[in-house]
Chain A
Amino acid sequence: MARLSKYLEIGSSPHVTDGTSTDVIMLNVFLALLPVTAFAIYAFGSGAALVIMVATVSCVLTEHWLCRWTGKPSTIGDWSVAITGLLYGLILPPDLPLWMVFVGGVFGVAVAKFLFGGLGMNAFNAALVGRAFLQAAFPQPMTHWQMPFAEGRFEHIPTSVLAMPFWEPTYDAVTTATPLALMKFEGQFAAGRELMAGLTSGSVGETCGVLILLGGIYLVARKMMNWRIPASIFLTVAAMTWAFQLYDPVTYPGPVFMLFSGGLMLGAVFMATDMVASPITNAGCWLYGMLIGLLVVVIRFWGGMPEGVMYAILLANAVSPHIDRLIQPRVFGTGRGSR
């Protein structure tokens, strides 16, 4: 009979887990963004590549430095700040001066994530906060849109991208208006097919709706994203737009235009679904998505700006804890369930 003489370890039940890990989820979100990133670089060239790179690096370095500075172990290994950085890069104009990209990234991570307490505590999506900061600080460069698929976009780096800090950037790339600006100020609606395929101008990674959706479907299939949030946003925007178009087809665009133009696709799939800043119950997620959809339509149709996805999501982030306070799961054996 074998004698049992070694030390055993102790630990709390359950002694098994289903093997998921937060860093694996985050890594998968990062991977789901890579096709969008590749398309962005293909469409906008070397300027976009630099913007994405500096955005990602600035966010990751900021978190790393702040952790070191406050004497905590660095948390960049959990991949969450890498997602923030990449997403932040994808929602910037492709010819934004790199120093602005850097400043916004530092601001987003330091203020919206680190000051709030790091991963799990950030009430707002840090990438959107970084962009909102730039929008307020540098309104002109933030509404400057490079023409996609311009000739020589790989060989030639736009001068504005390499502008000296605090100097007025000079623009040499061919520019154009975004579909939403055309709608707002010219009353023209881009074709749905062009929008879905990403043939229009806009922020670096927001143009190709199909690739964004594919990334989202991948995450939903791997149970790493709550599909109810984008579904709720899409349904709300589509239903409202459809109703307004029915009322006045000249002034108001159709649902396809609204869904695939501007940052809606990227925002709904990758920003609004930030688990930390969205409600925890499914019912809450439906409500949260409806709120975002409603705000997007209101800002786009009647606001002063052509695009409103960023502010819609940030506002909904602020409401999210209140949705959680309002909607909680009905505890077993209480309410309608008992008797």
Chain B
Amino acid sequence: MLELLRKNTFRHGVHPPEMKDDTADLAIRQFPFAPVLIVPLSQHLGKPAKPVVREGQEVIRGQTIAEPDGFMSVAMHAPASGIVRRITLAPSITGTKVESIFIEPYPASTQEIDDGEPCGLDATPDEIIAAIQNAGIVGLGGAAFPTHVKLKPPEGKHLETLFINGVECEPYLTTDYRVMLEQTEDVFTGIRYLLRATGTAEAIIAVEANKEDAAERFRSMCPDDLPVTVRVSPVKYPQGAEKMIFSALLGREVPSGGLPADINVICCNVATTAEIGRLLPRGRGIQERVITIGGPGVQKKGNYRIPIGTPVRFAIEQCAPVDDISRVFMGGPMMGPTVSNLDIPITKGTSGITAFTTAETGGSTGHKKVYPCIHCARCVEACPVFLNPSQLGILAKNEEYEQMAESWHLMDCFECGACAYVCPSHIPLVQYFRMAKKMVRKLSAA
């Protein structure tokens, strides 16, 4: 009840330990090139890109190596100067294999970047949107949704407010925080591009209270002609989900199954915004991104600007893994998918690599005992979209997938993990729901 009266946050949610102290104060450093970089043609939601290079061809860093295939697709750029060794299937984080371009960087190359056609702030909205697509920009927060697609609202909708998401509510991750501190100017430039492309009148930068210094930096450095306000929310997970930001700062909910455009808003991750501000004036594409490599499983934790396509194995080995390392996942511990194959590459949607030891995971024999659901309602109190995970879990166990979707709003679940985080019976709720959603999609496609 009190929570409703308190401003700037959403209802429900959980408070996992933040664990950001190890890397928050470490400046972004350039990561070395791996012997082979693997650039998947599908690192985003939508259609894979079309390769425009051949096996054996030399490429220059920054050169376009794949072009967008239609509107729901973005370009890919060479992360390093070198030779295209193969274009073939490579394992990905989802477990499926995807067509990828293997590039062998030239050792001792100066690694200068090949700049393309710049896109100025005086360009038309359509030109900016095309430039963002050709720069290969996708949501860097983790979803990897092509940014240019959401800049164009569906017919009949108009956008009023641009939200810049600097909440970064996942434990361990500090990439957005470092970008906000070190690329503040880039963020402002990016906001100018986005305001112009979307026709929105104002921008709101959302951060959590544990990043007060970033908020202060935005406030003090904001140019007078830029309509930007900074809003600070109390720390709570999953505040970084865009629906939660709108709910926290506007008190409005995106309709179930709808888009942010339905309530006339758009949300863009702060690192994505910074990349737009950094890349567009130089006509460059994304060939690297900032990630946090952290967790108790590695000793050289840090925030790194890492080439896209760096294999996870190389990244971990560079950061001095401890002997006891037992689990590696992309992103943070609440939503991060587990790495089942160390040869998968870091993609545009990877916000971090976190490594756990057996002390955190309990090892292969230490799995927590699963008890039956006791209806304690902790999950109901935690779910940010007000589902009934207890009931959904029972239905999932009985494989009643259609009922889950039809009567219990399964498809509104965005797998934030709050329910499984609080479940005293250690029921793998998120795993159940992922499986159920897959089954529902399969059943409705059939």
Residues of A within 8 A of B (CB): 1-4, 6, 8-18, 20-25, 78, 80, 118-121, 226, 275-276, 278, 280-282, 328-334, 337-339
Check A329 against B335 for contact (C-beta < 8 Å): no
* B320, B321, B329, most chain A CB atoms within 10 A: B329
Closest 9 CB pairs of A and B: A120-B372, A14-B417, A12-B431, A332-B385, A333-B256, A15-B333, A338-B255, A22-B371, A329-B386
Residues of B within 8 A of A8 (CB): 325-328, 339, 342
Check B421 against A18 for contact (C-beta < 8 Å): yes
How far is it, in angstroms, between the C-alpha of A8 and the C-alpha of B328 when the chains are bound?
7
Residues of A within 8 A of B405 (CB): none
How far is it, in angstroms, between the C-alpha of A329 and the C-alpha of B376 when the chains are bound?
15
Check A10 against B338 for contact (C-beta < 8 Å): yes
What is the interface size of chain B, counting residues whose CB is below 8 A from a CB of the partner? 76
Check A15 against B356 for contact (C-beta < 8 Å): yes
Check B386 against A280 for contact (C-beta < 8 Å): no
How far is it, in angstroms, between the C-alpha of A14 and the C-alpha of B255 when the chains are bound?
26
Q: Which one, B80-88, B107-115, B145-153, B311-319, is touching chain A? A: B311-319
Interface of B is mostly: loop
How far is it, in angstroms, between the C-alpha of A78 and the C-alpha of B425 when the chains are bound?
10
Check B253 against A280 for contact (C-beta < 8 Å): no
Q: What is the chain B residue whose CB lies nearest that of A19?
A: B424
Residues of B within 8 A of A10 (CB): 327, 338-340
Check B258 against A22 for contact (C-beta < 8 Å): no
- How many A-B residue pairs have C-beta atoms within 8 angstroms? Tell me: 177
How far is it, in angstroms, between the C-alpha of A338 and the C-alpha of B409 when the chains are bound?
15
Q: What is the chain A residue whose CB lies nearest that of B432?
A: A12
* A6, A17, A22, A332, most chain B CB atoms within 10 A: A332
- Asked, given contacts A1-B318, A21-B368, A280-B380, whether A9 binds B373 with beta carbons under 8 Å apart, the answer is no
Task: Give the residue of B320, B335, B367, B424 whose beta carbon is less than 8 angstroms from that of A13.
Answer: B335
Q: Which one, B155-163, B179-187, B387-395, is touching chain A? A: B387-395
Check A17 against B373 for contact (C-beta < 8 Å): no
Task: Give the residue of B255, B375, B421 whose beta carbon is less than 8 angstroms from that of A333.
Answer: B255
Residues of A within 8 A of B369 (CB): 21, 23
Q: Which one, B96-104, B200-208, B223-231, B357-365, is touching chain A? A: B357-365
Give, as a whole number of angstroms, the nearest-CB distance from B422 to chain A. 5
Residues of B within 8 A of A337 (CB): 253
* Given A21-B369, A25-B376, A331-B409: 7 more A-B contacts, CB < 8 Å: A2-B321, A8-B339, A9-B363, A13-B336, A120-B372, A329-B386, A334-B255
B194 proximal to A (CB < 8 A):
no
Task: Give the residue of B252, B409, B425, B434 whose beta carbon is less than 8 angstroms from that of A12.
Answer: B434
Residues of A within 8 A of B354 (CB): 15
Residues of B within 8 A of A281 (CB): 377, 380
Residues of B within 8 A of A (CB): 14, 16-17, 171, 243, 247, 252-258, 263, 313, 316-318, 320-321, 323, 325-329, 333-340, 342, 354, 356, 360-361, 363-364, 367-369, 371-378, 380, 383-388, 390-391, 409, 412, 415, 417, 420-426, 428, 430-431, 434
Check B386 against A332 for contact (C-beta < 8 Å): yes
Residues of B within 8 A of A334 (CB): 255-256, 409
Q: What is the chain A residue whose CB lies nearest that of B316?
A: A4
Check B317 against A12 for contact (C-beta < 8 Å): no
Q: What is the chain A residue whose CB lies nearest that of B342?
A: A4
- Sample 12 A-B pairs with CB under 8 A, ordered by A number: A4-B316, A10-B338, A12-B428, A13-B335, A13-B337, A13-B430, A15-B354, A16-B17, A120-B371, A280-B390, A282-B377, A332-B256
- Asked, given contacts A10-B327, A12-B434, A14-B335, whether A21 binds B256 with beta carbons under 8 Å apart, the answer is no
Task: Give the residue of A12, A17, A275, A331 whose beta carbon is less than 8 angstroms from that of B412.
Answer: A331
Residues of B within 8 A of A23 (CB): 369, 371
How far is it, in angstroms, between the C-alpha of A182 and the C-alpha of B204 when the chains are bound?
69
Check A118 against B368 for contact (C-beta < 8 Å): no
Task: Give the residue of A6, A15, A275, A282 whose beta carbon is less than 8 angstroms from that of B376.
Answer: A275
Q: What is the chain B residue whose CB lies nearest that of A15?
A: B333
Residues of A within 8 A of B415 (CB): 13
* A14, A276, A339, most chain B CB atoms within 10 A: A14
Check B385 against A331 for contact (C-beta < 8 Å): yes
Check B371 against A119 for contact (C-beta < 8 Å): yes
Residues of A within 8 A of B424 (CB): 20-22, 24-25
Residues of A within 8 A of B360 (CB): 15-16
- Asked, given contacts A18-B14, A338-B253, whether A9 binds B409 with beta carbons under 8 Å apart, the answer is no
How far is it, in angstroms, between the C-alpha of A18 and the C-alpha of B422 when the chains are bound?
6
Residues of B within 8 A of A280 (CB): 375, 377, 380, 388, 390-391
Check B329 against A15 for contact (C-beta < 8 Å): yes
Check A14 against B380 for contact (C-beta < 8 Å): no
Check A275 against B422 for contact (C-beta < 8 Å): no
How far is it, in angstroms, between the C-alpha of A333 and the C-alpha of B255 when the chains are bound?
4
Check B386 against A22 for contact (C-beta < 8 Å): no
Residues of A within 8 A of B385 (CB): 331-333
Residues of B within 8 A of A25 (CB): 374, 376, 424
How far is it, in angstroms, between the C-alpha of A180 and the C-alpha of B428 when the chains are bound?
48
Residues of A within 8 A of B430 (CB): 12-14
Check B327 against A15 for contact (C-beta < 8 Å): yes
How far is it, in angstroms, between the C-alpha of A332 and the C-alpha of B412 when the chains are bound?
8
Check A13 against B374 for contact (C-beta < 8 Å): no
Give, as a whole number of angstroms, the nearest-CB distance from A187 to chain B. 42
Q: What is the chain B residue whose CB lies nearest that of A1?
A: B317
Check B313 against A4 for contact (C-beta < 8 Å): yes
Give, as a whole number of angstroms, the nearest-CB distance from A81 to chain B. 13
How far is it, in angstroms, between the C-alpha of A11 and the C-alpha of B257 when the chains are bound?
29
Check B325 against A329 for contact (C-beta < 8 Å): no
